[in-house]
Amino acid sequence: MSRTGSKKQKVLLIQGNEAIVEGALAAGCRFFAGYPISPASEISEGMSIRLPQVDGTFIQMEDEIASMGAVIGASLAGAKSMTATSGPGFSLMQENLGFACMAEVPCVVVNVMRGGPSTGLPTHPSQGDVMQARWGTHGDHPIIVLAVSTVRDSFEITVEAFNLSEKYRVPVIILSDAVTAHTRETVTLPPHEEIEIIDRIKPTIPPESYTPYEVNSTGVPPMAAFGEGYRHHVTGLAHDVRGFPTERPDETDVLIRRLFHKITQGFHEIQKVKSYMMEDAEIAVITYGSVTRSARQAIMDVRHLGVHAGVLQLVTLYPFPRQSVENVLRQCRAVLVPEMNMGQISREVKRVNQTATRVTTLNRVDGQLITPEEIYGLLIKM
């Protein structure tokens, strides 16, 4: 530990999964329920040690279905809550994830992606769960999906995930992968007082006047915790402003549109990207996750040959950062989208491509990381 003035900074050699643990604790997470699964198990292990140290609660559940249910219950009781899993476990969580979307229960779900489908490649990286993160649970629903690329990202974006979840009363999914999860780097964690922490909005009116799902200008109703004297009715059914099931078209339409509206209003702070050498780029690599490392090395290598290449790293995958991607498509004559899947984000890029920009894909599905050499080889031909 080093000291800068009166503020303490932690200098740690940690892996991505451990950084997620530290980020969650810094954001105020005090409840974790989960079930071990490669390559995410270090998150559960870390939480089992660290949560009791801060008066938090760790529970190893019997499966991922129960884990998600426990996380929802703890959040309704007022605790910032999280779970972590990988592909097969993430599939099991989808029904309860939909419940959290409809009931507007803030929580964070970490999916450390591995090869699939089914049991797939348990110890190898993949990015095959991108579309599942957006559309895995049924119904037309808004959700926030963030992707981490480095150990530092794993800390910072986890804090951001909790902040967004609490502010917008929505589940937030963090997509990592086996490479980022197990990469070890030295990171300097900021002093706690320098970390922005956002908590859910609490009601300021007396219990008898409380409307659990009121319609207001932000689209986000204040949220009282169970046990605080405010009456709740929580259901996965379409419900009215008091939380009671309804089939009235006028009430269900208002509900679903409000769920989307609150996220749409926050596009300016939810949709985040990072740019590397994009100022004069004529060719861009649009990437996310651990592939970003390879992309950054590749563009530095091709620039030695006089190729003006840059990287747009997508931190937010959903809601898809359309404006940032469109700006790159208008600026560059060619774009490369490398992914460890058969082309999931590349479909989103092509969907918003309104210009004559050529979009090329690079896909690996063999459980191996896309290398700088592979990206370099395509960039010099573009």
pLDDT digits (tens, 9 = 90+) for 74-131: 999 999 999 999 999 999 999 999 999 999 999 999 999 999 999 999 999 999 999 9
pLDDT at residue 71 tops 70: yes
- The mean of the pLDDT values for the chain is 96
- What's the confidence (pLDDT) of residue 119? 95
Q: Specify burial of residue 117 (Cβ count, 10 A radius: 0-12, 13-18, 19+).
A: exposed
pLDDT at residue 5 tops 70: no
**Which pLDDT band holds residue 356 (cuts at 50, 70, 90)?**
confident
pLDDT at residue 29 tops 90: yes
pLDDT at residue 8 tops 80: no
pLDDT at residue 4 tops 60: no
Three-class HEC string of the chain: CEEECCEEEEEEEEEHHHHHHHHHHHHCCCEEEECCCCCCHHHHHHHHHHHHHCCCEEEECCCHHHHHHHHHHHHHCCCCEEEEECHHHHHHCHHHHHHHHHHCCCEEEEEEEEECCCCCEEEEECCCCHHHHHHCCCCCCCCEEEECCCHHHHHHHHHHHHHHHHHHCCEEEEEEEHHHHHCEEEEEECCHHHCCCCCCCCCCCCHHHCCCCCCCCCCCCCCCCCCCCCCCCCCCCCECCCCCECCCHHHHHHHHHHHHHHHHHCHHHHCCEEEECCCCCCEEEEECCCHHHHHHHHHHHHHCCCCCEEEEEECEEECCCHHHHHHHHHHCCEEEEEECCCCCHHHHHHHHCCCCCEEEEEECCCCCCCCHHHHHHHHCCC
Share of the chain above pLDDT 90, in %: 96
- What's the confidence (pLDDT) of residue 182? 98
- Which whole number is the average pLDDT over 170-196? 96
pLDDT at residue 258 tops 80: yes
- What's the confidence (pLDDT) of residue 1? 34
Q: Return the axis-axis angle of helices 322-331 and 345-352, rounded to nearest 10°.
A: 70
**Which pLDDT band holds residue 2 (cuts at 50, 70, 90)?**
very low
- What's the confidence (pLDDT) of residue 355? 83
How far apart CA 142 and CA 267 sit, in angstroms, is: 12
- Which whole number is the average pLDDT over 314-340? 97
pLDDT at residue 41 tops 80: yes
pLDDT at residue 7 tops 80: no
How far apart CA 128 and CA 132 sit, in angstroms, is: 8
In order of start, what are the domains of the chain with their CATH numbers? Answer: 2-194 (3.40.50.970), 207-268 (no CATH), 274-379 (3.40.50.920)
| Two tokens, residue 70 | 């426990």
- What's the confidence (pLDDT) of residue 96? 98
pLDDT digits (tens, 9 = 90+) for 191-245: 999 999 999 999 999 999 999 999 999 999 999 999 999 998 999 999 999 999 9
**Sign of the alpha-carbon torsion through 316, 317, 320, 324:** positive
- What's the confidence (pLDDT) of residue 149? 97
